[in-house]
Amino acid sequence: MARQPAASAPGRGGGAGRGWARLRGARLLVALVLALAVMAGGAPPAVAAANSSFTVGSPRCLLAGKPALLEQAPVVRQGAVYLALRDAAAALGVTPGELAWDGLRRTVTVRHGAGVMVLAVGSRAVLLNGHPWPLVAPVQLVAGRVQVPLAGVARALGMDVSWDAGVRTVSLSAPDSAQWDRSGSSSRASGVERESRPREFAWTTGGQPCRVTVAFSTLDYQRLGQLPRPLDYRAYLEEDLGAATVAELAWSIRGAAAGAGVDERQAVLAFVQGAIPYVLEAGGEYPQYPLQTVVDGGDCEDKVLLAASLMKALGERPALLVFPGHMALGLAGDDLEGTSFRSGGTAYYCAETTAPGWSIGQLPARMAGRTPSVIPVDGP
């Protein structure tokens, strides 16, 4: 199961016009603004020297050590304290013109000085100047407002995070020792050096050649091999180790799809079908974590878990379709068509991952007449 980092919030520690209208006047949380200022190469703003704290259920907070009032109180969801973007202090200097909401891809791009941050709804990572960092819980879109896991984003940015369970308060501070470079990487993000190995992938989508390169941490890969193999498939999608690499891979596939002029969802599916080899486990039947499948290949359930992780990083709504003796990917989308299976009122369109040539909505003949168990990735 996903491990619990120290000093976190409870639990662990993933029409454009209409969406933008709801995000007008939005402000980033303290951690985001501070990090963007430092990433831009400038001195941190005055708030860096003082603590900021947010209490679950209370609109009152401390910003730079001074009392302030939020429009919406922080909430606990999926084991993390969430804060709406628009509820950060307007005085921190991020203007509506520095925020861009992409309703089709469900992402918010923040451009502040020379720094760029991308947050994708449903993703368990943020992109800082082109480099992914894992989060403890996914970015969410609730009632038209983007909400972020406060501690996860702050910790990814190298800030100190503490949680007082007695008063249900999360506190943030930026120690003087935190050093950020322009790539968005922090010297304090890891206590050890992580050897990085590049891996290049090539495949074809819609007759168009695609190619991406991603680097993975050999230490993360080795540690994944020491983790337990839980029965709950969703636990493999919630593990922090390797999440940043998978998110980076997803965004690279998005870029390759845009360059080839093809649908990014079909590009992800074709990537898993053609670039990831189908391999049966020699040591018995057990699921793999997505990064392991990126490195080693895998069988149907492994490839489906990887596909679900990639889709989720792009803000899609995947599900696992578990047939007797087989697994396929399910994908929700109002513009999709073909064979689908429903869960909780949502239709998930079948996507076969084992071999190239299958499109979203196509069901293999051998599965005809069979009804799978539908497991939404973000469902109960």
- Give the DSSP letter of residue 3: -
What's the whole-number average pLDDT of the chain? 76
Distance CA 161, CA 49 (A): 14
Structure tokens at 358: 């299958």
Distance CA 314, CA 310 (A): 7
Q: Note the pLDDT tens digit of each residue in 181-239.
A: 334 443 333 333 346 678 899 999 989 999 998 888 888 888 898 898 888 898 999 88
CB neighbours of 275 closer than 8 A, spacing ≥ 6?
Answer: 201, 202, 203
Residue from 77, 34, 72, 36 nearest 52 by CA: 34
- The kind and range of the H/E element at 305 are helix 300-313
Q: Note the pLDDT tens digit of each residue in 155-180.
A: 655 667 788 888 998 887 765 443 33
Is the predicted pLDDT of residue 253 greater than 90, yes or no? Answer: yes
Residues of the chain with CATH 3.30.457.10: 16-173
Q: How many helices (H) and strands (E) does the chain have?
A: 9, 21
CB 79 within 8 A of CB 70: no
pLDDT at residue 348, as a whole number: 97
CB neighbours of 324 closer than 8 A, spacing ≥ 6?
Answer: 370
pLDDT at residue 159, as a whole number: 67
CA angle at 322 for the pair 283 and 4, rounded to the nearest 5°: 70
pLDDT at residue 375, as a whole number: 96
Distance CA 45, CA 33 (A): 9
pLDDT at residue 121, as a whole number: 84
CB neighbours of 366 closer than 8 A, spacing ≥ 6?
Answer: none
CB neighbours of 258 closer than 8 A, spacing ≥ 6?
Answer: 264
Distance CA 326, CA 154 (A): 40
Is the predicted pLDDT of residue 14 greater than 70, yes or no? Answer: no
Residue from 274, 254, 251, 272 nearest 262 by CA: 254
Q: State how beta strands 340-343 and 317-323 pair.
A: unpaired
pLDDT at residue 280, as a whole number: 79
Q: What distances in angstroms separate CA 316 from CA 5, 181, 230, 319, 336, one per listed residue?
A: 27, 31, 24, 10, 12
Count CB neighbours of 14 within 10 A: 24
Residues of the chain with CATH 3.10.620: 196-376
Q: What are phi and psi of 333, to 5 degrees?
A: 175, 130
Q: What are phi and psi of 311, to 5 degrees?
A: -65, -40
Strand ranges (E), 255-372: 317-323, 326-332, 340-343, 346-351
* Fold classified for 16-173: Copper Amine Oxidase; Chain A, domain 1 (3.30.457)
The alpha carbon of residue 110 and the mean position of all alpha carbons in its chain are separated, in whole angstroms, by 16
CB 47 within 8 A of CB 90: no
CATH architecture of 196-376: Roll (3.10)
Q: Note the pLDDT tens digit of each residue in 282-325.
A: 555 689 999 999 999 999 999 999 999 999 988 899 999 999 98
Q: Note the pLDDT tens digit of each residue in 97-153.
A: 777 788 777 888 877 666 677 888 888 777 777 676 777 678 888 888 888 888 777
When comparing pLDDT for 62 and 89, which is higher? 62
Count CB neighbours of 314 within 10 A: 24
